[in-house]
Chains A and B, each alone.
Chain A
Amino acid sequence: SSDDGDGGDGGSGDQPYTIGLSNGFVGSEWRTQMVDGLEEAFAEYEAEGVVDELVVESADTDVNGQIQQIRNLINRGVDAIIVNPNSETALDAVFREATGQGIEVFAIDQAVTSEDVTNVVIDQAEWARISADWLAGQVGQGGNVVVVNGIAGHPANEMRWGAAEQVFTDAGVNVLTVADGNWDQATGQQVMTNLLATYPDVDGVWTQDGMAEGVFRAVDAAGRLDRITISGEARVGFMRLWNDARATGFQSIGVVNPPGGAVSALHMAVNVLDGREFASGTIDGNTVHVPIPYTVDETTFDQYWGEAGSESDAYSLDGSLTRDEAADFFE
């Protein structure tokens, strides 16, 4: 491996590269899928001799712990770090330490503010807009929706909700209340149950990923599935419920939030380490928006359910850039 500082721009391409992954939360299947997918893609590169080692730092920890993770990766002499950050801002200083040692850093899932880092993420606002648009269309102008969000103050939550709220305002949809379900299915279910009891005339629920299944069960338990529209998610557990309810005319939408973002980032990292530059227009500041792979809706449901239906409930429908697609981001 090479730990001589050769900076982002002058990548000398002395393969094989060592790649580090820092993941500060393991209490979710999505993250597991992310790590597993990365390991698979890495194995291909490894077979080709492009990379030699993937150092995985993955544990439940806080910002301080993640700083320690990244410092450990730096001390391990990696060439690039792919990080799913626990904070949008609080890792900035340690990122500077990394780039100071000539390490390329890529943030996935959640963009960070540091300019030393290349964000390889989907556009969370866009992601939220798609389902909010759909829901607004379903309930129509003057319709009443309640919202089950993730964790207040969490950047992705704020970004998503900011975009969705705008959609609802523009469409003249009334947002009755916003509650937090901690991105947790059981909490989502309990919160929704409470909301249903106190808001008798709800037409729709907008929720984020991880909680749609709980929201569905709450609405179903209240026997109001026929009157309340739910914005769903592209996970097998929810899609199974969706599939069963389709017979009664239930409709929903699931926008893919791909764990495979890590794979896309790996492709980018190899390109950058090889010394290639991002093409103009593909990068906005320091953020590369990878496209949202696809959306599951009434028209595409059968196709995707056929592909993923045998996976476990926690499986998220996935997608990542191919190597060629990733290469198109570069000059």
Chain B
Amino acid sequence: MTGAAAGLVDRVRGVQLSGLATVAMLVVAVAVNSALQPNFWDSYALTSNFATFVPLVAIAVGQTIVVLSGGLDLSLGAQVTLASVVAVQVVDGSLDRFPLAVAAALGVGLACGALNGLVVALLRLQPIVATFATSFVFSGLALVVLPTPGGSVPFEITTAYRDSVLGVPVALLLIVALALVWLVLRRHRVLRHVYAVGGDADAAYASLVPVARTRVWAYVLGGLFAALSALAILANTGSGDPFVGNELTLASVAAVVIGGTALAGGRGGAGGSVLGAIVLALVTNIIFFADVPTDYRQLVNGAVIILALALAGIPALQKRRPSA
């Protein structure tokens, strides 16, 4: 085998195969869903489905970056909540202030990410528990900012979010845009360093990678994507709610893994996570349209998710032997 061919095989096996598993899952999910749901391809069903996907997709991209850096952010959901309530307080129903609200949300994401970066990278707390702790801070602050649900998003925004351009749902365009942002980031030095730090922090440190700064960046980027997720939620819900994002956290981790990114860090990418998030959402739909009895739905849902997690891990199974 020539070196080039070997390189190709390595690359296909290492990175793309996990991607393949995810793509296969997506194809199956779409096929099953459209078989069970007669109007799956109708315009309303399409736009509404994609509108549902965006928040999880966005937060999953953010989680991917943090996971790639070797961390985990259990506060992303709380960040979504905080960013959304701040944005809704800023926008207060007026379209003119929407850009300001976007800026405010991103600012919140940045600040939250920076705090997480501080505690994880500089104070060196263990990410799982440190971000669990900061999630209390963020969700508490969300309640302070918006003690009870309220506030409204300009009508134009919620309408545009549900619209489609030339038959393509706006929400789908947003997902494509998120994927593009990821592709751009991938070509940036910070993301390369994120991969290096997640792959082997000691080696990266010895190789002049600014480890601490890179980790902070990973959490900040995570926060920024959480802010984008918050904006999508606002467009989806039309108003503010101080609990809105909290449950997204764990789902985002599941999406990342189904997307083929290693939780240990350093390996994977957000493309898979985007698909993984969509797969997760489709599973819920499928179980609904398959008329699984109510009492068993959650059981089937859980089992299918575990199955998806197992399938996503199959490529890793191939390099099993510890000693090789």
Contact = CB atoms under 8 A, between A and B. Distances in A.
- The answer to whether A and B touch directly, with their CB atoms under 8 angstroms apart, is yes
Given A56-B294, A63-B244, A68-B52, A158 B147 contact: yes
B148 A72 contact: no
A64 B236 contact: yes
Interface string B30-58: 00000001011010110011011001100
Contact of B244 (A59, A62, A74): A62
A138 interface: no
Contacts, number: 121
Given A97-B48, A153-B143, 16 more contacts: A58-B297, A59-B301, A64-B52, A64-B233, A65-B247, A68-B284, A68-B285, A71-B49, A89-B239, A89-B241, A90-B239, A91-B237, A92-B239, A94-B236, A113-B239, A158-B148
A77 B285 CA distance: 15
Top 7 nearest A-B pairs by Cβ distance? A93-B238, A62-B247, A89-B239, A90-B237, A89-B149, A90-B241, A71-B48
A72 B243 contact: no
Interface of A: 26, 35, 56-65, 67-69, 71-72, 74-77, 86-94, 96-97, 101, 113, 152-155, 158
Contact of A155 (B56, B148, B285, B298): B148
A87 B149 contact: yes
B77 to A, nearest CB: 9
Nearest to A72: B288
Contacts of B246: 62
A26 B149 contact: no
Nearest to B291: A55
B-side interface mostly: helix
A61 B247 contact: yes
Contacts of A35: 294
Given A71-B52, A72-B288, A113-B239, A90 B37 contact: no
Contacts of B301: 59
Interface-centre pick from A67, A69, A101 (highest chain B CB count, 10 A)? A67
Interface string B128-163: 000000000000000100011111110000100010
Interface-centre pick from B44, B52, B235 (highest chain A CB count, 10 A)? B52
Interface-centre pick from A57, A89, A92 (highest chain B CB count, 10 A)? A89
Contact of B243 (A68, A92, A153): A153
B174 to A, nearest CB: 15
Nearest to A158: B148
B110 to A, nearest CB: 23
Contact of A64 (B56, B162, B285, B297): B56
7 contacts: A63-B233, A68-B52, A75-B48, A87-B237, A89-B150, A90-B237, A158-B148
Contacts of A94: 236-237
Contacts of B242: 153
A286 to B, nearest CB: 16
A56 B295 CA distance: 10
A202 B211 CA distance: 55
A62 B284 CA distance: 13
A8 to B, nearest CB: 19
A105 to B, nearest CB: 14
Contacts of A56: 294
Contact of A62 (B148, B235, B248): B248
Contacts of A68: 52, 281, 284-285
A68 B241 CA distance: 17
Nearest to B49: A71
Contacts of B243: 62-63, 86-87, 153-154
B276 interface: no
B240 interface: yes
A152 B297 CA distance: 30
A180 B143 CA distance: 14
Contact of B238 (A74, A92, A154, A155): A92
Given A62-B246, A93-B158, A74 B241 contact: no
A167 B294 CA distance: 41
B248 A64 contact: yes
A159 to B, nearest CB: 9
Nearest to B151: A89
Given A74-B48, A87-B149, A88-B241, A64 B37 contact: no
Interface in B205-250: 233, 235-248
A69 B39 CA distance: 16
Contact of B297 (A59, A90, A93): A59
B289 interface: yes
Contacts of B150: 88-89, 113
Nearest to B285: A72
A7 to B, nearest CB: 17
B118 to A, nearest CB: 27
A71 B51 CA distance: 10
Contacts of A77: 39
Interface string B55-77: 11000000000000000000000
